[in-house]
Amino acid sequence: MSREMMDRASQALQNRAEKLGIEIGLDRLESQQPQCGFGELGTCCRICYMGPCRIDPFATDGSSRGVCGATADVIVTRNLLREATGGTASHIGHARHVALTLREAIRGNAPYGIVDRGKLIAVAGGLGIATDGKSDTEIAEEVVAKALEDFARQDGEPGNWLKLHTPHKEFEMWRDLGLVVSNVHNEIEEAMHRTSGGNDADAVNLLLGTLRMGIADGVGLAMATDLQDIMFGTPQVCAVEANVGVLEAGRVNLAMHGHNPVLSEKILEWSAKLDGEARAAGADGINVVGVCCTGNELTMRHGVPMAGHNLQSELLIVTGAVDALVVDVQCIWPGDVKVAECFDTKVITTEANVKITGAMHVPFEAEHADEAAEKIVRVAIKAFVARKGKEVEIPQQKASALAGFSVEAILGVLSKIDPENPLKPVIDNIVAGNIYGAVGFAGCPNPKIRSSAMTETMAKELLANNVLVVATGCTAHILAQAGMMSPDATEQYCGEGLKAVLTALGGAAGLDGPLPPVWHMGSCVDNSRIVTLLAALADTLDVKISQLPVAGSAPELVAEKAISIGAWFLALGMTVHIAPAPHILGSPVATKVLTEDLEGITGGRAYVEYDPAKAAAGLVAHIAAKRAALGI
């Protein structure tokens, strides 16, 4: 495996870590080689204590079944459903936490409020809540009640957020397939029950369960996005900087890492309040930077610099300039704490279910958010005092980017061209071929394939073929660092048709140049924004999402969350590119159903390809087939 990192900043910090004798993720990856083949195929079962059973799907002797008689097909699909359940639990927990925070805020028990009244009214209207004559607090109480109902209802009726965000044609398809979700917590319970020992042993039924879990995940994603917009504001396009070079040696560098803006919004607020205190301690002020998805949240709403993706979290600490790495939930590497021991960096955990041995823990609860945030910022200032004057090494690479492409922001630009029908310019240019199609990138950077520049190369190939790219999560960080979210990238990478469209849109938006060719649509939960935009296009054209010339990609698959998001996209009828392969190749049934048969059921298809140029070519061919079917 190559130890090379594709961007110069990461390579420089990797070299510094090696020089200082600091172990990072790539070192641990090398020590794990060769990785378990049974695990990669998905044919290792640890559900009961008659095992673990390792199944060779190609064996002709007794090793082709587990002790209980489970086949490779059963083991693989059972494991896949459990992976999707883990991902969905993450997003459902996130959404519930935000809903409860909003509830406490409107009751006066937590220091948050309603920032975007327009989004509140829009969501309430979509949920069938009457708003005339009611205060914002009364409306918000009803919205929160509808949200919490999706975690509690036992009547079997479709969930509120499922109805709110699912296009009519897809909703009817799911109803016919028995995939409509009512209570998202029940889905998690049912999945864990059916995959425990001695239960569901039908591979196809287990795969249908994975689609249901993906749909439940979509409920959590959409709910979190909607409620966060209400509480913190709907993102609008803003200029930002990305990469490690956004750290500043003379300032208190406070890096926010994780996913939930309930924490990061307060840290940003208190960093401004205590800036004078930091200056009194000898700093040039406080520099809040974003890592991973909570970084995306701060970037979209406040223009906070994008310091790095989660694979770079250790490397950011290696600079010696990070005074506090403050984390909430998801994608937090335990290795961050070990690296921080070599410097004055404080790693601070905040959630009761995310503690790391060796990290400082400051409990963060909505009711006491101000007190906790104030304490955390003061810890960072104290850490700066401890490291002041010591050697730091901050690679100066950074790129300019435009972020904050919420659906509302996109429609705002389009409405300047056609106020009556904002989507018409997009549709006209799709028909004309200027926008050949669109691909949504999601997920994390994977050290196993990072040296291939998988994400960057795929994006460049797609843009050259006039395919618009939208990105969420850590892929957004990758593409921002590569300079592909700047207007200059439109001239550098786009085909002539897409370039002309983005130039026209840039003019409509009041920019001096074109819009960028890669649109930053947010964090992991904001994959819901992608689906909302696709649903609007499909409804306008009176077609299913599966008929649109679009696709999704997890170009560097890492997390269970990517499995659950991918399952949602597959249930919606999208082709989803994945690399590396999910742990399904040990099952002929799972492989065939997901890569072939599913297309005849929902319209969706999983597509595995490790070579970035070939992967992009495969997606362009898929888009071409969809265009031909539409007669364009």
Q: Give Rg (Cα) of the chain.
A: 24
Q: Among 358, 340, 467, which Cα is nearest to 349's?
A: 358
Q: What per-residue confidence (pLDDT) applies to 148?
A: 98
Please give, one letter per residue, the 3-state secondary structure of 391-439: CCCCCCCCEEEEECCCHHHHHHHHHCCCCCCCCHHHHHHHHHCCCCEEE
Within a 10 A sphere around the Cβ of 135, how many other Cβ atoms? 10
Domain 399-630 in the same topology as domain 244-387: yes
Q: Mean pLDDT across the chain, nearest whole number? A: 96
The residues spanned by each domain of the chain are 73-232, 244-387, 399-630
Q: Is the pLDDT of residue 139 over 50?
A: yes
pLDDT in tens, 347-395: 999 999 999 999 999 999 999 999 999 999 999 999 999 999 999 999 9
500 in Cβ contact with 471 (< 8 Å) = no
**Residue range 596-600: average pLDDT?**
97
Phi/psi for 71 (5° steps) reads -85, 170
Mean pLDDT of 390-408: 96
Mean pLDDT, rounded, for 314-343? 97
Question: What's the confidence (pLDDT) of residue 7?
Answer: 84
Say how far apart CA 225 and CA 472 lie, in whole Å.
13
pTM: 0.96
Which residue do the tokens 């992967």 mark? Answer: 615
442-453 average pLDDT score:
93
Asked which of 4-18, 364-378, 527-541 is least confident by mean pLDDT, the reply is 4-18
Residue 64 binned pLDDT confidence (cut-offs 50, 70, 90): confident
Residue 575 contacts residue 605 (beta carbons within 8 Å):
yes
* pLDDT at residue 18, rounded to an integer: 94
Backbone angles phi, psi at 48, to 5 degrees: -125, 180
Residue 59 in this model has a pLDDT that exceeds 90? no
Domain 399-630 bears CATH identifier 3.40.50.2000:
no
Average pLDDT over residues 41-51: 93
Phi, psi of 490 (to 5 degrees): -65, -45
CATH fold for the domain made of 244-387:
Rossmann fold (3.40.50)
Give the right CATH number for 73-232 from 3.40.640.10, 1.20.1270.30, 3.40.1190.20, 1.10.510.10: 1.20.1270.30
Report the distance separating Cα 81 and Cα 86, nearest Å.
9
Give the list of residues 6+ apart from residue 25 with CB closer than 8 angstroms, or none: 311, 314, 333, 335, 447
- Average pLDDT rounded to a whole number, residues 578-604: 97
DSSP H or E segment with residue 253: strand 252-258
Report the alpha-carbon distance of residue 521 to residue 569 in Å, rounded: 16
Predicted confidence (pLDDT) per residue in 462-501, tens digit = 999 999 999 999 999 999 999 999 999 999 999 999 999 9
Tens-place pLDDT, residues 217-270: 999 999 999 999 999 999 999 999 999 999 999 999 999 999 999 999 999 999
For Cα atoms 265, 270, 275, give the angle at the middle one, nearest 5 degrees: 130
Identity at 369, one-letter amino acid code: A
pLDDT exceeding 90 applies to what percent of the chain? 95
pLDDT of residue 488: 96
Q: In whole angstroms, how far apart are CA 107 and each of 141, 369, 510, 560?
A: 9, 15, 40, 35
Evaluate if residue 1 carries a pLDDT over 60: no
Q: How far is CA 625 from CA 36, 189, 632, in A?
A: 38, 39, 10
Q: What are phi and psi of 131, to 5 degrees?
A: -115, -15
